[in-house]
Structure 1
Amino acid sequence: MDFSLYGLWHSMGAFAKGIVITLAIMSLASLLVAGERLIIFSRSRKESLRFAEQLGGVLTSDSLREAAAKSFKGDIGYLGRTIASGLKAFNSGGSSTDEENINLTEESVARALERQTAREVQNLKRGITVLATVSSTAPFVGLLGTVMGIVNSFQQMAASGSGGLGTVSAGIAEALVTTAFGLLVAIPAVMLFNYLSGWVDARAVDLAESSNELMDLVARYHRRHLRTAAQAAE
């Protein structure tokens, strides 16, 4: 018997070939998803860094209104969309010095930042579940091929009436190939899933920190205007 990949493929039964084809499709899907996510992540990170550079010089508690009215060209990335949603909510609150209205504005900004952060994290996670599915199911798909290969071996043994190695070697080889193929598909998928999930978790922390910094600026802006209004009233 030819134990090369070519020889094993031609000695496989229809079921085992179906298992191998299924695993190949799963592997291709995981690689395509990972490639697409890596491109999106790289581009989004560059856009977010560019937005941070554009806004960093103007976003202070003294110029919060000017920053909120500023328009940014091009795509501003996950960071820009999150901060822009908070600035929009801040702008919608007006410039009232009434403490109740100020509290409502700050709550509105916080909710806007929270909603947009959740959207951005969900967008970054899009497709990663494919990697999770492939990494968790590929070994079992390969195991299914293994089980069927062993079943075929016993059937050949029963049909021949003997238990020699030559009788069952083809079925055992078929079983081992599908097992190995399942592991080869699952291992890269697990590594890619862990890497991409860690990247998204890190960006979620970045968004949370940036949102908190914006909320601090909004709070300082309002407290300063309350003091100014109080001094003017005196």
Structure 2
Amino acid sequence: MLPLAACSIVAVAVILERMYFFRHSGAANLAETLLAMITGNQREEAADRAKGSPLPLIRILAAGMAHPYQPAKAMEAVVVNELAAMRRGLPILDTIVTLSPLLGLLGTIIGMIDSFQVMALSGMGQPRAVTGGIAEALIATATGITVAVIALIPYNYFLARIERETEIIEHYATRLELALNPAAEQQR
């Protein structure tokens, strides 16, 4: 039960941290403003406004604005780091989802072995001792499955959220490339 308690504590910590991270990651309104500024020939103002932003999408667009002749390559380099930051902690949740039921089953097996040892020592004369041990052993399986289910739902939500954020990043990165293309042509 102690490993399951540790798994549940770690899962809750990762879930809360990821919820905080994704709560502060939306930046579509600012991205629209930056694209409007670039289209309106206010590229330097847009770059200044994007500079130092904590939002992943804006950091990616800022990299593209900083390199108007090759914005795609510049944004790709930043996207790798931003996606890694979005995925941080998810392998831990995935491991907990897989490991918890197995730990629960292990606890049940150990409990069953103990129950059968009690039966071997005392004989069939004490059925309550045996059934009480079996019931106690099954608590480990139930706990393991509960921890896995509780971690699985946020894990799948975070995967879907990363997929949605990736689509948003691709959308705005493509729009930025199109907006910068005339600017690059004018500067040649």
Report the TM-score, using the length of structure 2 for normalisation: 0.89
User: How many angstroms does 1:76 deviate by?
Assistant: 4.4
Q: How does 1:105-124 map to 2 (within 5 A)?
A: 105-106=69-70, 109-124=71-86
Tell me the residue number matched to 1:4. none
Match of 1:42 among 23, 26, 37: 23
**Alpha-carbon distance in structure 1 between the residues aligned to 2:9 and 2:170:** 34
Q: 1:36 to 1:115 in 2, by over 3 A?
A: same
Root-mean-square deviation over aligned CA pairs: 2.2
**Alpha-carbon distance in structure 2 between the residues aligned to 1:69 and 1:209:** 19
Residues 44, 78 of structure 1: 8 Å contact kept: yes
Tell me the residue number matched to 1:29. 10
Question: 1:196 and 2:183 equivalent?
Answer: no
**Alpha-carbon distance in structure 2 between the residues aligned to 1:203 and 1:119:** 14
**Alpha-carbon distance in structure 1 between the residues aligned to 2:128 and 2:163:** 53
Tell me the residue number matched to 1:178. 140
**Alpha-carbon distance in structure 1 between the residues aligned to 2:171 and 2:107:** 48
In terms of Rg, which structure is larger? 1
Match of 1:51 among 11, 23, 30: 30
Report the TM-score, using the length of structure 1 for normalisation: 0.73
Match of 2:119 among 138, 157, 160: 157
**Alpha-carbon distance in structure 1 between the residues aligned to 2:135 and 2:142:** 10
Structure 1 runs of 4+ aligned residues shifted over 6 Å read: none
Tell me the residue number matched to 1:79. 57
Tell me the residue number matched to 1:142. 104
User: How many angstroms does 1:156 deviate by?
Assistant: 1.0
**Alpha-carbon distance in structure 2 between the residues aligned to 1:163 and 1:198:** 56
User: How many angstroms does 1:88 deviate by?
Assistant: 0.7
User: How many angstroms does 1:163 deviate by?
Assistant: 7.0
Unpaired runs of 5+ residues, structure 2, are: none
Any idea what the Cα deviations from partners look like across 1:103-156, whole Å, max 9, x if unmatched?
xx33xx211111111211110111122211111100000000011111111111
Q: 1:69 to 1:187 in 2, by over 3 A?
A: closer
What is the aligned-residue identity percentage?
32
**Alpha-carbon distance in structure 2 between the residues aligned to 1:209 and 1:50:** 13
User: How many angstroms does 1:43 deviate by?
Assistant: 1.4
Tell me the residue number matched to 1:221. 183
Tell me the residue number matched to 1:63. 41
User: How many angstroms does 1:78 deviate by?
Assistant: 0.7
Any idea what the Cα deviations from partners look like across 1:168-222, whole Å, max 9, x if unmatched?
1122012111011111111010001001111111101111111111112223334
Q: 1:24 to 1:137 in 2, by over 3 A?
A: same
